[in-house]
């Protein structure tokens, strides 16, 4: 596949590749995705807005320039804004591919970091020399003002022009708790939501603090996705239950929604309302208890997003689908084309919740 290089959320010619439950393929324009939904289906999206999580600054002990990318927080409570896990890069910016970025200076617990108007202390290293737990000084008000003025959305070397905050906010963006955009939601706009309502398709949201998608460091990337806090409103849990009883499908917009809903699911597929922290990895051994279909970006083999699709499709169908996407020159990454994948009818036999993320240490203790 080809990387999408223009930061346009809804290009008129964005495409949608469809895999139905029998492994049959279809190609269409993404604007017509509502036609592939049925009355009685429930679409669940992530309404997290994206924070300006990239901060340029100075590592005080060495005087070296660094870039800090915030990657996760302990909870999505509004007041929980002082403590983040973060990946630290050496001098430079997004014009250099993350794979080629300079490493940061040697980081130690207690080191002070100056990020524009913000000051933060490294509380500890988190199992890797570039992954740290950071604590910001100052009140809620002060930290938000600092992030708003000094922070930038995490940028991508394959997108030439710098992204502004509005480039990475979905139309439905609410609480700013995501570190990278829940980009599957770029496919939605208010017009699509209105079409859905007209056709008897229901819509609800969850809030999931989507973490960083890749760091360019193979060792670190193997730890992804990190633990991600989420909140499922009662109305959403109720709507899921009603849909399941009436035989409609649960269509998740994006991998974050799959992760949150499946994490909160009980043995019998009921979704618990409230807050949680998604710790699991979803892959071929995961049995999906809640989600019937996923609307997502196109994902390349080797990424955790691609692994998650293996819970929806058997190996052979997924390989066939990847080839079809390649041959069709589909665009990938945040501003790329989309796929709508229905869980294959033949993949119901496993019974496991997936393996736990390797980084399930007590980060927030």
Q: Footprint of another protein on this chain (CB under 8 A)?
A: 47, 49, 51-52, 76-78, 81, 140-141, 144-145, 147-148, 165-166, 169-176, 190, 193-194, 197, 204-205, 233-235
Expressed in angstroms, the distance from the first to the final Cα of the chain is 41
Nearer to another protein, 37 or 173 (CB): 173
Rounded CA-CA distance 23/318 in Å is 9
Closest distance to another protein from the beta carbon of 93 (Å): 22
Nearer to another protein, 52 or 297 (CB): 52
**Residue 149: burial class (beta carbons within 10 Å; 0-12, 13-18, 19+):** exposed
Nearer to another protein, 175 or 283 (CB): 175
Closest distance to another protein from the beta carbon of 162 (Å): 17
Closest distance to another protein from the beta carbon of 7 (Å): 17
| Both structure tokens of 296 | 């997502």
Strands (E), the chain: 2-3, 15-19, 25-29, 42-46, 49-50, 54-59, 64-73, 83-89, 112-115, 118-128, 131-136, 176-178, 202-208, 228-232, 250-253, 274-278, 293-297, 331-332, 338-342
Closest distance to another protein from the beta carbon of 233 (Å): 5
The answer to whether the beta carbons of residues 122 and 109 sit under 8 Å apart is yes
Closest distance to another protein from the beta carbon of 291 (Å): 19
Nearer to another protein, 182 or 354 (CB): 182
**SS3 (DSSP) at 132:** strand
Nearer to another protein, 15 or 208 (CB): 208
């Amino acid at each position: 596949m080809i990387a999408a290089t223009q930061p346009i959320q809804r290009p008129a010619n964005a495409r949608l590749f469809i895999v139905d439950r029998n492994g049959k393929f279809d190609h269409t324009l993404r604007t017509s995705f509502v036609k592939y939904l049925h009355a009685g289906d429930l679409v669940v999206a992530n309404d997290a807005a994206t924070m300006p999580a990239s901060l340029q600054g100075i590592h005080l002990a060495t005087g070296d320039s660094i870039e800090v990318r915030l990657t996760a927080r302990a909870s999505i409570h509004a007041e929980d804004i002082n403590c983040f896990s973060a990946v630290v890069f050496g001098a430079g910016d997004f014009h250099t591919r993350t794979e080629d970025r300079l490493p940061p200076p040697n980081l130690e617990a207690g080191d002070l970091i100056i990020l524009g108007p913000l000051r933060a202390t490294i509380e500890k290293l988190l199992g890797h020399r570039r992954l740290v737990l950071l604590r910001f000084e100052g009140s809620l008000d002060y930290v938000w003002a600092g992030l708003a003025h000094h922070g930038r959305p995490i940028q991508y070397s394959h997108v030439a022009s710098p992204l502004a905050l509005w480039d990475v906010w979905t139309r439905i963006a609410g609480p700013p708790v995501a570190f990278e955009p829940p980009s599957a939601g770029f496919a939605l706009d208010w017009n699509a939501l209105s079409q859905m309502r007209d056709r008897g398709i229901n819509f609800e949201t969850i809030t999931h603090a989507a973490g960083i998608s890749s760091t360019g460091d193979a060792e670190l990337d193997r730890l992804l996705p990190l633990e991600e806090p989420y909140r499922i409103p009662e109305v959403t849990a109720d709507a899921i239950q009603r849909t399941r009883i009436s035989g409609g499908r649960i269509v998740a917009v994006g991998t974050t929604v799959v992760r949150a809903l499946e994490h909160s699911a009980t043995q019998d597929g009921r979704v618990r309302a409230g807050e949680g922290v998604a710790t699991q990895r979803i892959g071929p051994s995961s049995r999906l208890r809640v989600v019937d279909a996923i609307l997502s970006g196109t994902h390349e083999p080797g990424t955790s997003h691609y692994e998650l699709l293996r819970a929806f499709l058997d190996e052979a169908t997924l390989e066939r689908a990847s080839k079809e996407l390649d041959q069709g020159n589909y665009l990938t990454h945040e501003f790329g084309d989309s796929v709508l994948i229905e869980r294959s009818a033949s993949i119901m036999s496993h019974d496991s919740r997936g393996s736990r993320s390797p980084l399930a240490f007590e980060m927030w203790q």
